[in-house]
Amino acid sequence: MKKILITGGAGFIGSHVVRRFVNTYPNYQIVNLDKLTYAGNLENLRDVEQSPNYKFVKGDIVDAEFINNLFTNENFDAVIHLAAESHVDRSIANPIEFVMTNVVGTVNLLNAARNSWKGAYNTKRFYHVSTDEVYGTLGEGTEMFTEQTAYDPHSPYSASKASSDHFVRAYHDTYGMDCVISNCSNNYGSFHFPEKLIPLSINNIKNNKPIPIYGKGENIRDWLWVEDHARAIDVIFHKAKTGSTYNIGGHNEWTNIDLIRTLCKVMDKKLGRPEGTSAQLITFVTDRAGHDLRYAIDATKLKNDLGWEPSLQFEEGLEKTVDWYLANEEWLNNVTSGNYQHYYEDQYQNR
Ligand SMILES: Cc1cn([C@H]2C[C@H](O)[C@@H](COP(=O)(O)OP(=O)(O)O[C@H]3O[C@H](CO)[C@@H](O)[C@H](O)[C@H]3O)O2)c(=O)[nH]c1=O
């Protein structure tokens, strides 16, 4: 039985990774460590919470003493680290929170792993899940981020993730820890917190509220279905060479405005509204400060080395995502009103 710590497992991507590992590997004990901030809630994992190989621990990676004790008591065999403050707009308003969670939190985990794993830390894997935003921005055209692209972060969020990537590499290079990193493009799918472009727009369209598009909507993002990301993490965790980095992306670039127009059509169809109704909600608003123009990921190394490719066409994935949000109205209402804290208390505090 292998015991794996997954941090941030109650968040959007984290919950998909936890679900995949709990269901695919009954011989692994999965420990999900999450602070349950506004963006993480255990409702995302209801379907696996009773599994015998799953355990939840509430805690903050910034609390070094707590993290050290957890590693001493649990004796993990590996870490998949996803816990992070992730929203660029929030990082612009409050950068220090991003430094604390993303940088200090990551270093606390690295230290705890290094100290508790002692002589074995070169055989126990520390996997850091990161973002393509560390590479900065591309112009319109064909150039893409590869694993060799120099880091050039622009937002406090991406600067904090770049810094944590550097620390992970430093612990590999300096102490010989078995570290791997992946840098992924924009994800979409179920359980995505409705502050991000796609779920925010679905929610607003549903409620006949304006869809805020920053600037002229010309910024380009590469979109990947979250379950394909979880599968990539699985493959990299098991097969990547120590010290390696992999880019993960969908080869699926959209300007924000084209994406939202497509989403509006899907929503009109699903809600039985005349075509063109939702698009009337599009509202151009002040641009994000320092807004990166384009992210595009070259994921050929991952395909060539480890055989991973995206499984889903974007149009199909978008429709699936819309269906999920329309079928999970209660989830949407509860996350937007912060109701899930009660669920945590009922489930765990009173046990
Ligand atoms: C929330 C919001 C966003 N946007 C724009 C900004 C971006 O160009 C694009 C997507 O914005 P967001 O959904 O906030 O995602 P983005 O800033 O690209 O960052 C996401 O993708 C990154 C990977 O590229 C992750 O590392 C981040 O954690 C994740 O938040 O849509 C709007 O035009 N209006 C909005 O209301």
Q: How far is the C-alpha of 281 from the C-alpha of 245, rounded, in Å?
A: 41
Quick check: is 215 in a domain? no
Kindly list the strands in the beta sheet with 253-255, ordered across the sheet, starting from the edge strand earlier in the chain.
186-188, 220-225, 253-255
Q: How far is the C-alpha of 254 from the C-alpha of 252, rounded, in Å?
A: 7
Residue percentage of the chain with pLDDT more than 70: 97
Strand partners, 245: 181
Quick check: is 337 in a domain? no
> Which residue in 34, 85, 133, 222 is the catalytic one?
133
State the pLDDT at residue 109. 98
In the chain, the amino acid numbered 328 is N
Ligand 1 atom with the smallest distance to the CA of 291 is 8
Quick check: is 275 in a domain? no
Residue 302 has pLDDT above 90, yes or no: yes
Angle at 257 (CA atoms; ends 256, 262), nearest 5 degrees: 100
Encode pLDDT of 319-346 as tens digits: 999 999 999 999 999 888 877 766 676 6
| 130 CA from centroid of ligand 1 (Å) | 15
- Report whether 134 contacts 160 (CB < 8 A): no
198-to-28, 119, 137, 139, 282 alpha-carbon distances in Å? 33, 45, 21, 23, 13
110: domain range?
2-193+223-253+295-313+343-349
In the chain, the amino acid numbered 169 is R
Residue 192 Cβ inside 6 Å of ligand 1? The answer reads no
Residue 343 annotated in active site: no
- Report whether 21 contacts 6 (CB < 8 A): yes
Report pTM: 0.97
27-to-4, 8, 24, 75, 233 alpha-carbon distances in Å? 11, 21, 9, 16, 18
Residue 253 has pLDDT above 70, yes or no: yes
State the pLDDT at residue 307. 98
Quick check: is 72 in a domain? yes
Residue 131 Cβ inside 6 Å of ligand 1? The answer reads yes
Q: How far is the C-alpha of 89 from the C-alpha of 196, rounded, in Å?
A: 10
CATH number for the domain including 27? Answer: 3.40.50.720
The DSSP secondary structure of 189-248, one letter per residue, reads: STT--TTSHHHHHHHHHHTT--EEEETTS--EEEEEEHHHHHHHHHHHHHHPPTT-EEEE
Could you tell which of 195, 197, 261 is best to mutate to test the pocket of ligand 1, judged by most ligand atoms within 8 Å of the CB?
Answer: 197
Tokens 């979109």 correspond to what residue?
Answer: 223
* Mean pLDDT for the chain overall: 95
Residue 212 Cβ inside 6 Å of ligand 1? The answer reads yes
| 278 CA from centroid of ligand 1 (Å) | 20
Quick check: is 99 in a domain? yes
As to burial, measured by CB atoms within 10 angstroms (0-12 exposed, 13-18 middle, 19+ buried), residue 329 is exposed
Residue 282, classed as helix, strand or coil, is strand
Quick check: is 331 in a domain? no
Reported ipTM: 0.99
Q: How far is the C-alpha of 203 from the C-alpha of 189, rounded, in Å?
A: 14
Domain count, the chain: 1
| 226 CA from centroid of ligand 1 (Å) | 15
Quick check: is 335 in a domain? no
Q: How far is the C-alpha of 174 from the C-alpha of 163, rounded, in Å?
A: 16
Look up residue 157 and give its two tokens: 């969020």
Confidence of residue 118 (pLDDT cuts 50, 70, 90): confident
| 196 CA from centroid of ligand 1 (Å) | 6
Quick check: is 9 in a domain? yes
Look up residue 330 and give its two tokens: 């209660």
Task: Compute the average pLDDT of residues 279-299.
Answer: 98
